[in-house]
Chains A and B, each alone.
Chain A
Amino acid sequence: MSTNYTYDYIIKYIIIGDTGVGKSCLLLQFTDRRFQPAHDLTIGVEFGARFVDVEGKKIKLQIWDTAGQESFRSITRSYYRGAAGALLVYDITRRETFDHLLIWLEDARQHSNSNTTIMLIGNKSDLESKRAVSYAEGEAFAQQHGLFFMETSAKTADNVEESFVDTAKDIYEKIKQGVFDVSNESNGIKVGGHLQPKTLPLNTDNGNNCC
């Protein structure tokens, strides 16, 4: 396990949304490329990490997966501030998880950095026959609130990679534009550098670069 593997940037993410929408399954699919149908329920927060490649830069994503239950809200709120990316997840088969998005969004806006990139995710897209929220509704909500949007399936892995990577691309774009103060780690971004990453071969996305 090479946790010291060199990187250009570390970017911190947070995954939020109602209980049972598949947050932990998305994370597991992204970090381990597998699906666990009866995932243990998350207590407080759990941590995961993986490298992605954006424009030839090695970016290490460090991801906090939060418990969805209301009772844990005061604990999980403390993780917003240090996140540069937020994945806000609902379940396309459960209308109420979509109806709660505004509450989540307000919470995120209030407690996170104003530059945080938010990706709205309608998960469980494999359960088309049980769909209760249309693609258009999800897309409209995202547009209205200035969020990125994707429908994913943690089960089939559809769009899982893309949702994490596209969020990273947007954040990297902001880094290049100088939107983030990268000297302050509490903004959710840490710059590598002393390790001369360019002299090392780029290990692109092939499943063996899990950190």
Chain B
Amino acid sequence: MKLSDSTVSRLDETQRLRFERCLNKFKDVLQSANIDLDALRNLNWLGIPNELPSELRSITWQLLLEYLPCNADRQVKTLARKRQEYFEGVSQAYARGIAGLDQTIWHQIHIDVPRTNPGTILYQCETTQQCLERVLYVWAIRHPASGYVQGINDLVTPFFQVFLSFYIENYDTSCLPKNVLDVIEADSFWCLSKLLDGIQDNYTFAQPGIQRQINKLKDLINRINAPLAAHLQKEGVEYLQFAFRWMNCLLMREMSLKHTIRMWDTYLAERSDGFSVFHLYVCVAFLDKWSDELKTRDFQGIMMFLQSLPTAKWKEQDIELLLSEAYRLKSLYHEAPNHLSRV
């Protein structure tokens, strides 16, 4: 693994050395016969620079989700077995063609996939859509307690995109050989499954996980930003009205896919609660960030503003600030229920 020639040609000498040093740190960890996940978490928390080879992120994500084993001897075998298991699952589910599928679930997924990242060529391409459809369908029938819930279609895309970039740079899936695409699909399925295992009650009946997260968000805003909390209350804004989507889609509707991927570097490094506890603190930091703007607006202005936040202009730096603020808040308030209130 090394920096690509095209990347090197864009960098000056200092930058090149910096990224090479960074890559070497990852390599040191990854080349061990038994990978030290804590060491990998420490590196991953700070994000994987886009200048590093794209396969690096595929590998570290799969390791941190414990899909790819840490033990180098078991990696090839395990991946082959899991992929095979997925292909068999697909064959079974689709044994009698589309007509043999659960029509309610299938129809919902079928109309949602074309509405996933509608502005992006990669997701408008039929090959991609068929992959996502199968991943979501197989996941849904294997998880009857929740089934497919809208928003899960968004959550599969970072995996698909990261694993795809292992193979191609330009994102035209129709030019990929079938066996390569199959592997990307199977890996996306398993990694999505791992992610959802940790937040399953976000998607079971009445979505209790999300309701809990929203209550905690409200409680934390009361504690860290009382004037904002008071203003929202005065205007009759309920947290459910805007934060439901933040939880259901893990802020993916508020951020570009590129920035979501950067956020997930950190979420994945936060052990098993990255997508629940740490995400909650990211939402706290995120709402707090717009405080000045929100306090000048009435109910309608607040709702309209929160629905289309000006994050399109965000740079990677903004994401990093948000993540470090979330980290700070989590260290202060997590598992410190009341003694810090009204500080």
Q: Which residue numbers of A lie inside 8 Å of B, CB to CB?
A: 1, 3-4, 19-20, 38-47, 49, 62, 67, 69, 71-72, 74-75, 78, 211
* Given A67-B150, A69-B108, A74-B205 contact (CB < 8 Å): yes
If over half of A's interface residues share one DSSP class (helix, strand or loop), that class is named, otherwise mixed; here it is: loop
Q: Could you tell me if A71 and B207 are in contact, using CB atoms closer than 8 angstroms?
A: yes
B245, A74: Cβ atoms under 8 Å?
Answer: no
State the interface size on chain B (CB cutoff 8 A): 30
Partner of B241, one of A1, A45, A67, A71: A45
Min CB gap B190→A, angstroms: 23
Tell me how far the C-beta of B218 lies from the nearest C-beta in chain A, rounded to whole angstroms: 15
Could you list which residues of chain B lie within 8 angstroms of chain A, going by C-beta atoms?
108, 111-112, 114-115, 118, 146-147, 149-151, 153, 203, 205-207, 240-241, 244-245, 248-249, 253, 297-298, 300-301, 303-304, 307
Bound complex: CA A140 to CA B147 (Å): 35
B240 touches A78 (CB 8 A): yes
Which residue of the partner chain B has the closest CB to A44?
Answer: B244
Shortest distance between the CB of A99 and any CB in chain B (Å): 13
Complex: A72 Cα to B118 Cα, angstroms: 22
Given A47-B241, A75-B207, residue A41 in contact with residue B301 (CB < 8 A): no
When C-beta atoms are compared, the residue in chain A nearest to B104 turns out to be: A70
Interface pair A40/B253, CB less than 8 Å apart: yes
Assembled-state Cα–Cα distance A81/B71 (Å): 57
Chain A residue, CB-CB nearest to B236? A185
B248 close to A44 (CB less than 8 A): yes
Given A3-B297, A211-B300, A43 and B108 contact (CB-CB distance below 8 Å): no
Cβ-defined contact, B253 with A43, below 8 A: yes
Interface centre among A1, A47, A211 (most CB of B within 10 A): A47
Closest beta carbon of chain A to B252's beta carbon, Å: 10
Q: Is the CB of A43 within 8 A of B240?
A: no
A sample of 10 cross-chain residue pairs with beta-carbon separation below 8 angstroms, ordered by A number, consists of A3-B298, A3-B304, A20-B111, A40-B253, A41-B112, A46-B307, A47-B307, A71-B203, A75-B206, A75-B207
Partner of B147, one of A1, A71, A75: A71
A1 to B112, CA, bound (A): 33
A69 proximity list for chain B (CB < 8 A): 108, 149-150
Are the CB atoms of B114 and A1 closer together than 8 Å?
Answer: no
Enumerate chain B residues within 8 angstroms of A43, measured Cβ to Cβ. Answer: 150-151, 244-245, 248-249, 253
Known: A3-B301, A74-B207. A19 touches B244 (CB 8 A): no
Residues of A within 8 A of B298 (CB): 3-4
Q: How far is the CA of A1 from the CA of B308 in the complex (A)?
A: 14
Residues of A near B114 (CB, < 8 A) are 38
Contacts of B307 in A (CB 8 A): 46-47
Q: A44-B245, A49-B300 given as contacts; is B149 within 8 A of A38 (CB)?
A: no
